[in-house]
Amino acid sequence: MLETLNQRYAIAKVLTFQAGMDNQPIAKIHNDHATAEISLYGGHVLSYKPHSETADVLFLSPLATCAKGQAIRGGIPICWPWFGEDPEGLGRPNHGFVRNRLWQPIAAVAIDRGTTQLTLGLSDTEETRALWPHSFDLAIVITIGATLQVELITRNTGHTTFSLTQALHTYFTVGEIQHVRVRGLEGKYYLDKVEGSTRKLQTAAIAVTSEVDRIYLDVPANLTIDDSVLDRLIRITSIGNSTAVVWNPWITKAAAMGDLGDTDYQTMICVETTNAATDVVELAPGDTFRLSAAYQIDR
C-alpha cells in the first residue's frame, strides 16, 4: 500500500507516505515552512511544527492509539456527522464514525513558496449507511505552510436532505495550562456541559483552573490562545461555524482516560471549530458545505 501511495502522491523531498501509529499509513511533510504528519486513519492531522518553533502547535498524547478502531487522542480529530453523544440515542459512537476509518488520498500538490496541500476523501459504504442512512462525499483539504489550514467539505450525494453537526476537534500544545488564556470569546454566552449545559456569560478571557467543557455561541471568526510560557500566540481563524468548544479534562478525567497521561491536561487545551448545539447544518441533495480553520503562530 505504501509503495502505491508514494508512486501516486509523493512529492520529491517534500511529502512521503510511511508506516505510522499502529502501522497505519501517514503522510510526512517537510517543506520550506514547517513539518507535519497526517494519518490516513481518521483523516487526522497529527503534527504541525513551523521551523521557527521548538514546540509542536498540536498536542498528541504519548499514549494515543488507533488499535482496534480507537480514535486518536490529540491532533485534529474529525467529528462527523454528529458532535458529542449520539443525537438519536441509538448507541452509536460519540462524535460520529469518520475519525476511525481509513481515508483515501485524492490529491497532493506543491503550492508557491513551498506550501504543500494534501486532500483526503471518504464516501459512504454499506457499513456507514447502517449507522447513518445517507449518501455523502467528504473531503479534507490540509494545507501546510506558514499557517496550517484545514477545510472539511461535505457533499450530499443522496436524494434526501440530511442534517449534521461536526467539529475540527483541535488539541493545542501549551506550556502550562494555568498560564494560558483564550481570548476572543469575552461577552459571549456558552453552554457549560460540566454543569448540565447551563447557559452562562463569559465576562473575561478564559482561564482554566478546573474541568472545562463549554460550547460557545455566536462566536467571532478570530480567536487567540495566549501562552505566556511558550511565549506565543496561536491565532485561530474559522469559516462556516457559529459555535466553538473549549475543553480541558483536568485532573480526574485525565487520570481516567486510558489514552491520556495523568498530567497531560497541564500541557494541552482544545479550542474547537464546530457546528454544535443549535448550530446545525442542513444539506439538501447535491449541496456542499465547508467548515474551515486556519492556525498561525504569532508573537
Residues with catalytic roles: 169, 272
CB 69 within 8 A of CB 277: no
- What is the per-residue burial (b if ≥16 Cβ within 10 Å, else e) of 16-43? bbeebbeebbbbbbbbebbbbbbbbbbb
Note whether 262 and 15 are within 8 A (CB): no
The closest of 48, 25, 79, 65 to 142, measured between CA atoms, is 48
How many CA atoms are closer than 13 Å to the CA of 7, on its beta-carbon side? Answer: 4
Three-class SS state of 5: helix
Which 3 state secondary structure label does DSSP give 104?
strand
Identify residue 271 by its one-letter amino acid code.
V
Q: How far apart are CA 223 and CA 202, in angstroms?
A: 14
